[in-house]
Structure 1
Amino acid sequence: MMPELALIAVGPRSATLEMACGHPWQAPWDHQVMLDDVPILTTRTNVFTLSGLEPGRDYKVAVESNGHRLSLSIRTREEAALLDVRACGAVGDGRHDDTVFLQAAIQACPAGGTLLVPPGDWLTGPLFLKSGVCLWLQDGARLLGHPDIARWPVLPGILTDAAGRESYLGSWEGTPADCHAGLITGIGVQDVHIFGSGIIDGNARFDTWWSRPKAPFQGWRPRALFLVDSADIQVTGVTVCNSPSWTVHPLFSRRLTFADMKVAAPADSPNTDGINPESCQDVRIAGVRFDTGDDCIAIKSGKIWIAQRRPVATERLTISNCLMEQGHGGVVIGSEMASGVKAVEIRDCLFRGTDRGLRIKTRRGRGRLAVVDGIHMRNIRMEGVGSPFVINSFYWCDPDGRTPYVASRQPLPVDEGTPTIANITLRDIEAVETRHCAGHVLGLPERPVDGLTLANYRVRYAADAMPGYPDMAEGIEPLVRAGFHFSHVRGLDLEGVDIAGQTGDALSFDQVDLIP
């Protein structure tokens, strides 16, 4: 293919670009990057950041890659001021509580300005972003979450004004709830760029936040980065790690970019998902390396309670050139998706060792607006993944998850709680060292998956694989090196499906309408 070069994000002092070269995550050859004809970077990673730029200046970027030369022009944004947090009293020695000084610096920085966090360990409680202010975490800078839970304020889940209108400041698993503020919190902010090569470290541990995964403290566990009702947010270059719960959680927000980042948490840390856009629109996730204790990316839109009050679907989301390692799921949709998830493109990504690749999970009771429609995945490589692709319409979450209403495999009446899954395409997928099965699709008998295409879908297996569950529902048994099972699918199109080395049949069907 002809490579393409695109600008993903630009701030006053950095720019992040993406090479589309046909190879997921990184190329087998070098990308030689030049700025105004001066070589500045050699990388094989397809998403990269140019740092050390000057505000309000035009640059010409050229990339030489595999015999091709691509170029584009960029202009960095203007910068009204540069404020060093030390000027406001912050110390950065990892011992002094810098919260009030860091927050004072954020408030003092004028709109259009950049707040500089230099190298150091900046011990802090939650910080609240301000519209129009960029946050620059230099190399060696670490925002370190305070280990004292009492220093993390609780935000009410619901605020109601005199007219009865509701707004939401906290959320837990798809429902408004009182939550501790995130280490970095943005409420109704716009035009914010968090950039640099520093670290946002939630500093969660098993003797603090991770000690009670299913019970609140003063409120439910916070996120490392929480955004609500915010817009035009860019997060580039930084590492976000050790979050108390979901690492990056934007809610009811739009025009968001997360690029050239690392998101990490120990493999045994509870609910430390990577990036979870919930009821968000126009989201781009590019060049992010995930290594988490739960799903790498989980796309959500709330449970039915919130869908009845503020139904906002997650729409127009692009995931590209990401590396997913050791998470439960690579890209997961649901199960809290009662307002719908639509128009998602996943391309040029590498999955290593995740339990599942693309996972769509829902259940009866999510509601009539719980429509998953237009999910397209292409040019993906999976290595050592348990199950490359799963649709589970019987996910056993919530207190009633094992009741006959959720778990029954007999057709029930279509009602206000019936979800929909439609128009799913997987193209040019290669899965090697697969452990559990080539794929597992369970549609509802009363509402089958409507429109599923697999094209150029290739699966090979790990010789030493151990049995595991393709997903979580009543009646699903552990599998090892199994083929692809389809149940209750209308309009299944298989083109170039290549499964070899499995135990049993490569393909099995139950109530499936195949396209000839």
Structure 2
Amino acid sequence: MIIPIVLILGSLGSTLAGTTIEFQAINCRKHSAVLTDFGGVGDGKTSNTKAFKTAISKLSRYASDGGAQLIVPPGKWLTGSFNLTSHFTLFLHKDAVLLASQDEAEWPAFPPLPSYGVGRDEPAGRFSSLIYGTNLTDVVVTGNNGTIDGQGQAWWDKFHQKKLKLTRPYLIEFLYSDQVQISNLTLINSPSWNVHPTYSSNVLIQWLTVLAPVDSPNTDGINPDSCSNVRIEDCFVVSGDDCIAVKSGWDQYGIKFGMPTQHLVIRRLTCISPDSATIALGSEMSGGIRDVRAEDIIAINTQSGVRIKTAVGRGAYVKDIFVRRMTLKTMKYVFWMTGSYGSHPDPGYDPKALPEIKGINYRDIVADNVTYSARLEGLKNDPFTGICISNVKISLTEKPKDLQWNCTDIQGVSSEVTPQPCAPLPEKSIECPFPEDRLPIDNVKLKTCSART
């Protein structure tokens, strides 16, 4: 039986029995409830989609009265997709596991994102993400390392067998939202991308553990997409695709939508991804990517460090990119830029829409057991310019490639780099820049909040 809402809401200290847990959040909430108060059953078999939707609908009425939080207690909570609301916190207990339903009926169908034009797996559209929200303000998804299990194997099988009718769902996605926090969670086995903030601003992503088999398709860790003022820090990602992929729309659709990803800081990321990048910029970057700051990055057994991916038809730009203090172990490439990535949504792209790649700065990098130092491929008649690489020491594998620096259609400089870079990166006595100012998202201070479970 569902307890009337007036009986379960109120101050945490007076209405909920159990253990008090403290956690950090952008805002604390005046009201609180537990999923079981709305008929939730944590047996791993019973669908809780209705319980989540009912709870969030009822709690949404407190948005203007100090907000509300929904506590997911210990248990295994099977659920399909559900939407969050503004001035709201979803908190997962450390012994709580959200199990994503494998029943397609539990995943509403959505049209393609306007900056993409078509679905990425299938052109018709896409399934809703597991935890979803649009046009929200002040929303938090957190826990004390609770788990969200996407149960992705069935989705991966459908992808490989070409049995999908829509693009696979993501685990967490917010669109057109402001003041978003996603933190202190373990995300495993996503059907596709894990975390996808889109068309949003003031986004804080911290202390996530993201795990997927290294051969799973498109299980990117964190993909900020046409977002501004974003902070990603203290995350550990093992993935079948890029650990972080920075995006802003696809070809003519992204150009028309015209919303860049900008003012992004990435700190203290550890990545394992044998077939993909530690941080990818693109390939869908047709709204532009600028002012990205990455520092204190560790990659182990990963294909490349920071990779720029673009192509004819993308248009826009990747510029003002700053990277420092990377430690790389067992890498195929340290530096990789690709101007011929290919992949287009449809044949309608403009072959005259050439991307502008400039102001790319790397410094203070140590890399061991490397096969290729660099593969830097600009576009004919559209060179990548303003590349700066300084204070880099690369130790090669026992069987390195003879051509360590493969460079075409690029321009820049280098300083104190071993092995010696290619001729388009002549030696200069410089230190590549890194901004000293703070982004506005760096000034966001978390509050100590509490929950009783």
Shorter-chain TM-score: which interval? Answer: 0.7 to 0.9
| Residue identity in the other structure for 2:404 | G
Q: Where do 5+ consecutive residues of structure 1 fail to align?
A: 1-11, 14-50, 56-74, 159-166, 407-413, 466-478, 500-505
Deviations 1:224-246 (A, max 9, x none): 11211111110110011211111
- In 1, the alpha carbon distance for the partners of 2:56 and 2:116 equals 20
Q: Pick from 316, 341, 351: which aligns with 2:289?
A: 341
Deviations 1:362-401 (A, max 9, x none): 111112xx21001110011000111011011111323899
Q: Pick from 255, 263, 280: which aligns with 2:210?
A: 263
Q: Where do 5+ consecutive residues of structure 2 fail to align?
A: 1-10, 13-19, 429-453
Match of 1:507 in 2: 421
Report if aligned partners of 1:224, 1:248 keep a CA contact under 8 Å in 2.
yes
| Residue identity in the other structure for 1:508 | C
Pairing 1:54-73 to 2, within 5 Å after superposition: none
Q: CA deviation at 1:209?
A: 4.4
Match of 1:497 in 2: 417
Report if aligned partners of 1:462, 1:481 keep a CA contact under 8 Å in 2.
no
Asked if 1:381 is matched to 2:301, the reply is: no
Q: Pick from 278, 281, 301: which aligns with 1:330?
A: 278
| Residue identity in the other structure for 1:139 | K
Q: TM-score, normalised by structure 2?
A: 0.83
Match of 1:423 in 2: 359
- In 1, the alpha carbon distance for the partners of 2:156 and 2:80 equals 14
Question: Where does structure 1 differ by over 4 angstroms across 4 or more consecutive aligned residues?
Answer: 167-171, 174-177, 213-216
> 3-state DSSP class of the match of 1:211?
helix
- In 2, the alpha carbon distance for the partners of 1:262 and 1:448 equals 37
Q: Pick from 273, 298, 310: which aligns with 1:362?
A: 310
Asked if 1:187 is matched to 2:134, the reply is: yes
Deviations 1:101-124 (A, max 9, x none): 111111222321111000100000
> 3-state DSSP class of the match of 1:244?
coil
Q: Pick from 108, 113, 116: which aligns with 2:71?
A: 116
Q: CA deviation at 1:416?
A: 3.6
Match of 1:453 in 2: 388
From the superposition, tell whether residues 220 and 152 of structure 1 become closer, same or farther in structure 2 (CA, over 3 Å): same
Match of 1:141 in 2: 96
> 3-state DSSP class of the match of 2:57?
helix
Pairing 1:273-422 to 2, within 5 Å after superposition: 273-327=220-274, 328-367=276-315, 370-398=316-344, 416-422=352-358
Q: CA deviation at 1:212?
A: 1.6
Match of 1:228 in 2: 175
Report if aligned partners of 2:270, 2:297 keep a CA contact under 8 Å in 1.
yes
Give the number of equivalent residue pairs: 403
Q: TM-score, normalised by structure 1?
A: 0.73
From the superposition, tell whether residues 313 and 216 of structure 1 become closer, same or farther in structure 2 (CA, over 3 Å): farther
Q: CA deviation at 1:515?
A: 6.6
- In 2, the alpha carbon distance for the partners of 1:101 and 1:486 equals 56
| Residue identity in the other structure for 2:327 | R
Higher percent of residues as helix: 2
- In 2, the alpha carbon distance for the partners of 1:400 and 1:130 equals 35
Report if aligned partners of 2:115, 2:257 keep a CA contact under 8 Å in 1.
no
Report if aligned partners of 2:327, 2:366 keep a CA contact under 8 Å in 1.
yes
Q: CA deviation at 1:349?
A: 1.0
Match of 2:55 in 1: 105
- In 2, the alpha carbon distance for the partners of 1:444 and 1:54 equals 48
Q: CA deviation at 1:415?
A: 7.0
Deviations 1:426-458 (A, max 9, x none): 000110111x20111111121211101111011
> 3-state DSSP class of the match of 1:446?
coil
Q: Pick from 483, 487, 512: which aligns with 2:408?
A: 487
- In 2, the alpha carbon distance for the partners of 1:231 and 1:244 equals 26
Q: Percent identity?
A: 31
- In 1, the alpha carbon distance for the partners of 2:236 and 2:23 equals 27
Match of 2:449 in 1: none
| Aligned-pair Cα RMSD in Å | 2.7
From the superposition, tell whether residues 295 and 325 of structure 1 become closer, same or farther in structure 2 (CA, over 3 Å): same
From the superposition, tell whether residues 113 and 89 of structure 1 become closer, same or farther in structure 2 (CA, over 3 Å): same
Match of 1:200 in 2: 148
- In 1, the alpha carbon distance for the partners of 2:251 and 2:361 equals 26
